[in-house]
Structure 1
């Protein structure tokens, strides 16, 4: 069965009402394109933090938190109707706890969520880390979710692939390098890594990876864009580059994942007895 997928590179800031109006237009555009799945960036509602190196000052202007059963996501579900939409929010937890959460929903409500597990640099002073990766059923098939830095770790996408996700949506607010500034975004180290991780995670697991990202600037960061759809061979079949936009492609998930795995199935051909994984926190084995 052919599925039409749309993914977005766009700027989202603190103004949630403005974001809801923007999302409504994107849903309309995706639906007009025949899409069954729309992937929006991380931090779609309320924006991201403004400084990864020292986010403490962002506590004066933190991303607004929402409840998963609150009116904001209910409004997007009403807009979505039969369209499956993935977007990022700051989820309100107990007390002062906040999660960087990816949400998948349609008109029937929330289909699945993912709390970002890997928190880079100072992000852990704003958010609490999630603890799991798990796929879930949707009207467009069984999918998995990751949030930006999660894609850096092969185990994240591999866990979702073993949980029978043949399509993984990775929602990002991925900035240009904050430590090695480049003269142009195309020369930026993080721009190269962002594409590299997307393609590697798709190819090594022989799955589709649908990648979204923020654009523009917020606080001290400039976001890369580069929303894309990557096939099970690791080839980019549609991309927005650095500017805001939406890319839409028709994909046959079952047929193409089957074709990729038919002769060389990476999941089945692993030799786990040969792999050594150091215990978590084992500094003698190189963990920092």
Structure 2
């Protein structure tokens, strides 16, 4: 058993796709120099997120819609090379657009997830995904989700039951919409963001990477707070409310084995008792 270096990013991205790729290239290069093998970039890092989540807000045309088998994702894969990289983008599928996250290496696409849970007015811009599935990668079996997905315990649990060893949640999670404090570190939406990250790791006893947008975009001020969480719910690395890269070393198999040795939350489930509302 050997430790693996992994990292989650908090960074700002906008509508200029070429500028976004320059940021991605810089972050990948930094991660490679630090010998990171698994890198999580934020939701909507290719093309930026929405300008507002308010109903009827004056929005632009939104991020560019990219095909999962198109040239932009191939470019991302080429940048990834020997690393496993997770990144958010707007996915085109016929006339529909999805808020999606893709996992790539230099060999191509390993997995793709379409955001299932849509907050506030996001459904005006994106269609909804319909499933959670884990998949194998060179760094272990991964399950992906996007932002609001992590507010629902069933999302991460479905991935854990599908064998995910590592949960990767990419976000464009903003601060409070009302009564926002001047200091983002005191923001109640940031506290919820952090609680969800730790709870999803602990209840499923999996490794958890949480990437997020940083800075501001349109009316939104993002809480950053990218982090790596071990299966006991303890935060190993955190960027705080600024841009940065949270880097941690962890032997994933050993960490899962240790966390599940006495009380195995997946093993000790009683599905027969959970019928109501299932």
Q: Give the match for residue 20 of structure 1.
A: 21
Identify the range of structure 1 (141-150 vs 176-185) with the bigger mean alpha-carbon deviation.
176-185
TM-score relative to the length of structure 1: 0.94
Structure-2 separation of matches of 1:269 and 1:9: 35
CA contact (8 A) 1:41 1:88 kept: yes
Cα distance, 1:56 vs structure 2 = 5.1
Q: Give the match for residue 166 of structure 1.
A: 165
Q: Give the match for residue 65 of structure 2.
A: 65
Q: Give the match for residue 85 of structure 2.
A: 85
Q: Give the match for residue 137 of structure 1.
A: 136
CA contact (8 A) 1:118 1:129 kept: yes
Residues 55 and 203 (structure 1), Cα distance of their counterparts in 2 relative to 1, 3 Å cut:
farther
Structure-1 separation of matches of 2:25 and 2:113: 23
Cα distance, 1:277 vs structure 2 = 3.1
CA contact (8 A) 1:148 1:170 kept: yes
Cα distance, 1:160 vs structure 2 = 0.4
Cα distance, 1:187 vs structure 2 = 1.6
Structure-1 separation of matches of 2:226 and 2:56: 25
Structure-1 separation of matches of 2:70 and 2:277: 41
Structure 1 residues 247-274: Cα deviation after superposition (integer angstroms, max 9, x where no partner): 2111110001011001100011112222
Q: Give the match for residue 104 of structure 2.
A: 105
Structure 1 residues 134-167: Cα deviation after superposition (integer angstroms, max 9, x where no partner): 0001011110101000000000000000000010
Q: CA RMSD in A?
A: 1.1
The count of aligned residue pairs is 277
Structure 1 residues 192-232: Cα deviation after superposition (integer angstroms, max 9, x where no partner): 00000000000000001100000111111100000000000
Cα distance, 1:183 vs structure 2 = 3.0
Structure-1 separation of matches of 2:34 and 2:183: 32
Q: How does 1:125-204 map to 2 (within 5 A)?
A: 125-204=124-203
TM-score relative to the length of structure 2: 0.97
Q: Give the match for residue 5 of structure 1.
A: 6
The secondary structure found in structure 2 opposite 1:101 is strand
Structure 1 residues 23-73: Cα deviation after superposition (integer angstroms, max 9, x where no partner): 111111111111111100000001000111226532x33111111111111
Pair 1:37 & 2:38 matched: yes
The secondary structure found in structure 1 opposite 2:215 is strand
Structure-2 separation of matches of 1:7 and 1:227: 6
Q: Give the match for residue 282 of structure 1.
A: none
Pair 1:230 & 2:229 matched: yes
CA contact (8 A) 1:55 1:125 kept: no
List runs of 5+ in structure 1 lacking aligned partners: 280-288
Identify the range of structure 1 (3-12 vs 66-75) with the bigger mean alpha-carbon deviation.
66-75
Structure-2 separation of matches of 1:157 and 1:65: 27
The secondary structure found in structure 2 opposite 1:88 is strand
Structure 1 residues 95-115: Cα deviation after superposition (integer angstroms, max 9, x where no partner): 1x1100000001000000100
